[in-house]
A and B are shown apart, each in its own frame.
Chain A
Amino acid sequence: MNFLARFETERPGSGQRRSSGKHPFKSAVAGLAGLALAGLWPGLAQATEIQEITTDAGITAWLVEDHTVPLIAVEFAFKGGSSQNPDGKEGLSNLLSATLDEGAGDLNARAFQGRLEDLVMRLSFEDGRDDFYGSMRTISLNADDAFEMLRLAVSEPRFDTEAVERMKTQLIANIRREKNDPDAIAGRVWSQTVYPDHPYGKPSDGTEETVAKLTPEDLRALQQRMFARDNLKIAVVGAIDAETLKPLLDHVFASLPEKADLKEIPDVQPKTGMTETVELNVPQTSIRVGLPGLKRSDPDFIPAFIMNHILGGGTFSSWLYDEVREKRGLAYSVGSYLISRDHSGMLMAATGTRAEKAAETLSIIEEQFRRMADEGPTPDELQKAKDYLTGSYALRFDSSSKIANQLVGIQIEDLGIDYIKNRNQMIEEVTLDQVKAVARRLLAGKTPTIITVGPNGA
Chain B
Amino acid sequence: MKSHSLKALGRHVRVAVFLVVAAAAPTAQMTVSALADPQAAATSADFADIRVGGDIATFTLQNGMEGIVIPDHRAPVVTHMVWYKVGSADEAPGKSGIAHFFEHLMFKGTKNHPAGEFSAMVAAIGGSENAFTSNDYTAYFQRVAKEHLGTMMTFEADRMANLVLTEEVIAPEREVVLEERRQRVENDPGSKLGETLDAMLYVNHPYGVPVIGWKNEIEALNKVDAIDFYNRYYTPNNAILIVAGDVTTDEVKALAEETYGKLERRAEPGERSRPEPQTVPGEQTVTLSDPQVNQPNMRQAWLVPSYNTAEGTDAEAIDVLAQILGGGNTSRLYEKLVVEDGVAAAAGSWYQSSALDDTRFMIYAVPRDGTTLNELASATSAVLQNVIDNGVSGEELERAKKSLLSSTIYAQDNQATMARIFGVALTTGGTVEEVQAWPARLASVSVEDVQAAARKYLAGSPVTAFLKGPETASGAANTAATGQKS
Contacts and interface: CB of A to CB of B under 8 A. Distances in A.
Given A7-B130, A114-B399, A66 B74 contact: yes
Q: Which of A43, A181, A399 has its CB near the most chain B CB atoms (within 10 A)? A: A399
Given A176-B475, A281-B291, A329 B171 contact: yes
A279 B124 CA distance: 42
Given A47-B74, A457-B486, A177 B172 contact: no
Contact of B145 (A38, A41, A120, A280): A41
Q: Which of B177, B179, B291, B330 has its CB near the most chain A CB atoms (within 10 A)? A: B179
A44 B143 contact: no
A282 B186 contact: yes
Nearest to A180: B292
Given A43-B75, A70-B30, A387-B123, 19 more contacts: A7-B12, A69-B409, A69-B413, A73-B413, A117-B399, A118-B402, A120-B409, A141-B35, A166-B339, A166-B342, A177-B294, A179-B477, A282-B186, A282-B187, A326-B172, A328-B172, A331-B176, A352-B182, A390-B126
B182 A71 contact: no
Given A71-B413, A170-B345, A394-B75, A180 B482 contact: yes
A119 B143 CA distance: 33
B346 A173 contact: yes
A1 B185 CA distance: 12
Given A283-B186, A401-B414, A41 B346 contact: no
Contacts of B12: 4, 7, 315-316, 333
A429 interface: no
A379 B18 CA distance: 41
Contacts of B73: 68
Contacts of B412: 69, 71
Contact of A399 (B188, B346, B413): B413
Main secondary structure of the interface of A (DSSP, over half): mixed
Interface residues of B, number: 88
A36 to B, nearest CB: 12
A400 interface: yes
A106 interface: no
B214 interface: no
A305 B149 CA distance: 28
Interface in A384-399: 384, 387-395, 397-399
Contacts of A162: 339
B127 interface: yes
A331 B475 CA distance: 34
B17 interface: yes
Interface of A: 1, 4, 7-8, 10, 12-13, 15-16, 18-20, 38, 41-44, 47, 66, 68-71, 73, 109-110, 113-114, 117-120, 122, 137, 139, 141-142, 145, 162, 166, 169-170, 172-174, 176-177, 179-182, 185, 189, 208, 276-284, 314-317, 325-333, 352-354, 384, 387-395, 397-401, 453, 457
Given A113-B328, A120-B402, A387 B125 contact: yes
Contacts of A142: 41-42
Q: Which of B1, B41, B72, B483 has its CB near the most chain A CB atoms (within 10 A)? A: B483
Nearest to B481: A180
Contacts, number: 257
Given A41-B76, A69-B413, A331-B176, A315 B38 contact: no
A292 to B, nearest CB: 23
B410 A137 contact: yes
B330 A117 contact: yes
A352 B183 contact: yes
Given A19-B1, A69-B412, A284-B183, A317 B77 contact: no
Nearest to B38: A141
A69 B330 CA distance: 28
B295 A330 contact: no
Contacts of B409: 69-71, 120, 139
A280 B485 CA distance: 10
Contact of B42 (A141, A279, A317): A141
B124 A384 contact: yes
A208 B107 CA distance: 44
Contacts of A390: 126
A279 to B, nearest CB: 5
Nearest to A316: B119
